[in-house]
Amino acid sequence: MIINMGPQHPATHGVLRLVLELDGETVVSVKPIIGYLHTGIEKNCEYRSWMQAIAYVTRADYLSPLFNELAYCLGVERLLGIDAPPRAQALRVMLTELNRIASHLVYVATTGMELGAVSVMLYGFRERERILEIFEMITGLRMNHAFIRIGGLAMDLPEGVEEKIRDFLEVMPRRLDEYEKLLSHNPIWVERNLGVGYLAPERAIELSTTGPVLRASGIAKDVRKDEPYCGFEQYDFDVVTRTDSDCYARYEVRMEEMRQSMRIVGQALDSLPGGPVMVEDPKFKWPARLKVGPDGIGNSEEYVEHILGGSMEALIHHFKMVTEGVAVPAGEVYQAVESPRGELGLYVVSDGGYRPYRVHVRDPSFVNLQSFRDQVVGQMVSDVIAIGAALDPVMGGVDR
Amino acid sequence: MTPEELVERLGPRFDDISLAHGEVTVVTTRERLVEQLVALKGDPELGFDFLADVSGTDWPDRDLRFWVAYHLYSIEGKHRLRLKVGVPENDVHVPTITEVFPGADFLEREVYDMLGVEFDGHPDMRRILLPEDWDGHPHRKDEELGGVRTQYKGGAFIPPIDQRLHK
């Protein structure tokens, strides 16, 4: 029997469509059909200035927008040969690790919902909300921030946000213990995850899977440790691995990674260096002084006053930087960062112009989805839901 | 292995090898692609056992118009390599590497979908992101952004700025 699951199915994690061939309740074959959320992000980038493209790439994997921005900006910075100042680097680490916790919380929440543990769904989204509030304070937006910029960050931390993050770091470990009390020995959770979705380590490497899926198969590949960026070598954290290669191991990896991320956020806050958050060179620096307003980031009134009423040179400079932007020397880079779902790589090509020549997003959800077939064939149809949830694909990233 | 050591190791094997921004790039031909990937994967010291990415770029002014880039990684040695293959416009075919790296499946299909480069021997060479009856390959430079016909009655996406009629 052939059944169609999705694209509008509550348990397929967004608009993922699966065509399943069944023999009784056993899956004989599966064909994932994707592309429902394709928005042409890569093509759009080619028609924008280097700076504008940030607002496009951030929308690819919408649960980890800061990682998309970070990978893109690090890539362009390498092409330009500039480095963001130390404070910006530390804040990038802090923001992306908070983002990782938020993203893993959505995994716990949606997986809970899909496997029938609805209270976990509510708790997961409740805690994620705290992180989104922190993001809203800092960037003005809850998602798709376009806050990490080429050469640094859009602006510095606002007043009072550090306490908010410290509050979160104090509350969150207790909440994680609560989730584990609810789930780790819950017979239904264990029954539906333990031993389900086995992926042999060799096969996981062959299929280019990354992130928690690969680490749950016992392979400690983590870009933060292997090829540190933004000063990750200064932070003390562990790469979490498990060896069972099943959905339960992936759950354990993600829970432990949230604890590790909190360690990193704490260290970043404690050792936050002073100084600017954007390169000083006016050739690369975004000219405007920005401010968080009620609808996100905008120019501050003083700055508008300055360019319109004060300085003609500043107005010309602003106009040139905003409309034309920066020419990036010809070349190509592949910049990888460790996103919540694995290796997020941005292949950025420049022909020396004011616009990207090519931006390719190697999205971990897209590549990890290939391992679906290996995991579900021969399993029960109900396991398809658990396996899909443990892969944690974000369709915005898969389809781009 | 550092990029410099990698260049030294790979120098004799590739005519065209370069190091830029800390990344090693080698250029090869379609004919030798699979054989070289097998060698890179099998070499115990290099150990390129992980395929990170496959992507394509369109350069309409070059002799070889399409360039497919393979990003390899070694889990053991933690080093990366970019392997590039040029494809002429009149014969847009590249042998598939799914035999060597099964993880290339979706990635090659995406390159086909977006650029129209066909991967010979691929088990399932169909479009992946766009509808199966889509005309053209949107990442080609001669395909404009916007102005694309849609299924809605009389509908098309907004044309690019330089093609809009301002009345």
B107–A333: do the CB atoms touch at under 8 Å?
Answer: no
A207 and A133 in a single domain? The answer is yes
A227 and A303 in a single domain? The answer is no
A313 and A336 in a single domain? The answer is no
pLDDT digits (tens, 9 = 90+) for B109-120: 999 999 999 999
Instruction: Tell me the pLDDT of chain A averaged across its residues.
Output: 89
From A5, A7, A3, A34, select the one nearest A21 (Cα to Cα). A3
DSSP H or E stretch at residue A119: helix A118-139
Question: DSSP 3-state assignment of A212?
Answer: helix
A74-107 burial by CB neighbour count: b if 16+ within 10 A, else e? Answer: bbbbbbbebebbbbbbbbbbbbbbbbbbbbbbbb
> What amino acid is encoded at A66 in this protein?
L
Rounded to a whole number of angstroms, the distance from the CA of B167 to the nearest CA of chain A is 23
Asked if A61 and A365 touch (Cβ cutoff 8 Å), the reply is: yes
Residue predicted with more confidence, B66 or B3: B66
CB atoms within 10 A of CB B79: 21
A182 and A248 in a single domain? The answer is yes
A362 within a domain of the structure (yes/no)? yes
Which of B51, B57, B75 comes nearest A219 by C-beta? B75
B159 within a domain of the structure (yes/no)? no
B128–A400: do the CB atoms touch at under 8 Å?
Answer: no
CB atoms within 10 A of CB A314: 14
Which of B51, B53, B78 comes nearest A334 by C-beta? B53
Mean pLDDT over A303-325 rounds to 85
A260 and A124 in a single domain? The answer is yes
What pLDDT sits at residue A1?
86
A237 within a domain of the structure (yes/no)? yes
Asked if A354 and A49 touch (Cβ cutoff 8 Å), the reply is: yes
A74 and A199 in a single domain? The answer is yes
Residues in chain B with CB shorter than 8 Å from the CB of A205 are 49-50, 75
Percent of chain B residues topping a pLDDT of 90? 41
CB atoms within 10 A of CB A196: 21
Instruction: Tell me the pLDDT of chain B averaged across its residues.
Output: 86
- pLDDT category at A182 given cuts 50, 70, 90 is confident
Residues in chain B with CB shorter than 8 Å from the CB of A346 are none
B14 within a domain of the structure (yes/no)? yes
B96 within a domain of the structure (yes/no)? yes
- pLDDT category at B163 given cuts 50, 70, 90 is low
B53–A370: do the CB atoms touch at under 8 Å?
Answer: no
**Total number of domains constituting chain A:** 2
B126 forms beta bridges with none
What pLDDT sits at residue A195?
86
Domain of residue A71 covers 37-279+328-399
Given a cut of 90, whether residue A210 has pLDDT beyond it is yes
A30 within a domain of the structure (yes/no)? no
Q: How far apart are CA B83 and CA B97, in angstroms?
A: 12
Q: How far apart are CA A15 and CA A140, in angstroms?
A: 28
Residue predicted with more confidence, A286 or A108: A108
What pLDDT sits at residue B46?
86
ipTM of the complex: 0.88
Which of A208, A221, A357 comes nearest B101 by C-beta? A208
Residues in chain B with CB shorter than 8 Å from the CB of A46 are 145
B52–A362: do the CB atoms touch at under 8 Å?
Answer: yes
Mean pLDDT over A49-60 rounds to 91
What pLDDT sits at residue B136?
85
CB atoms within 10 A of CB A271: 12
A187 and A303 in a single domain? The answer is no
Residues in chain A with CB shorter than 8 Å from the CB of B50 are 205, 208, 221
What pLDDT sits at residue B165?
60
A14 within a domain of the structure (yes/no)? no
Residue A188's contacts (CB-CB under 8 Å, 6 or more residues apart) are A115, A116, A117
A291 forms beta bridges with A298
Mean pLDDT over A320-335 rounds to 89
Asked if A362 and A345 touch (Cβ cutoff 8 Å), the reply is: yes
Q: Mean pLDDT lowest for which of A53-57, A381-385, B81-85, B145-149?
A: B145-149
Mean pLDDT over A361-378 rounds to 91
A360–B53: do the CB atoms touch at under 8 Å?
Answer: yes
Residues in chain A with CB shorter than 8 Å from the CB of B21 are 78-79, 331, 333
Tokens 């910006």 appear where? Answer: A88
B165 within a domain of the structure (yes/no)? no
A145 and A289 in a single domain? The answer is no
Which of B21, B50, B138 comes nearest A333 by C-beta? B21
Residue predicted with more confidence, A6 or A224: A224
Given a cut of 80, whether residue A319 has pLDDT beyond it is yes
Given a cut of 80, whether residue A332 has pLDDT beyond it is yes
From B81, B68, B79, select the one nearest B29 (Cα to Cα). B68
User: Taking CA atoms, what residue in A is nearest to B102?
Assistant: A207
pLDDT digits (tens, 9 = 90+) for A288-307: 778 887 777 887 888 888 88
Residues in chain A with CB shorter than 8 Å from the CB of B105 are 370
B142 within a domain of the structure (yes/no)? no
A142 and A205 in a single domain? The answer is yes
Question: DSSP 3-state assignment of A111?
Answer: helix
What pLDDT sits at residue A321?
86
Mean pLDDT over A229-246 rounds to 90
Rounded to a whole number of angstroms, the distance from the CA of B55 to the nearest CA of chain A is 7
Given a cut of 60, whether residue B167 has pLDDT beyond it is no
Domain of residue B70 covers 3-129
Asked if A298 and A290 touch (Cβ cutoff 8 Å), the reply is: yes
Tokens, residue B87: 């494809």
**Total number of domains constituting chain B:** 1
DSSP per-residue codes, A302-352 = HHHHIIIII-HHHHHHHHHHHHT--PPPSEEEEEEEEETTEEEEEEEEE-S
Q: How many residue pairs from chains A and B have C-beta atoms closer than 8 A? A: 93
Which of B21, B105, B131 comes nearest A331 by C-beta? B21
What pLDDT sits at residue A325?
85
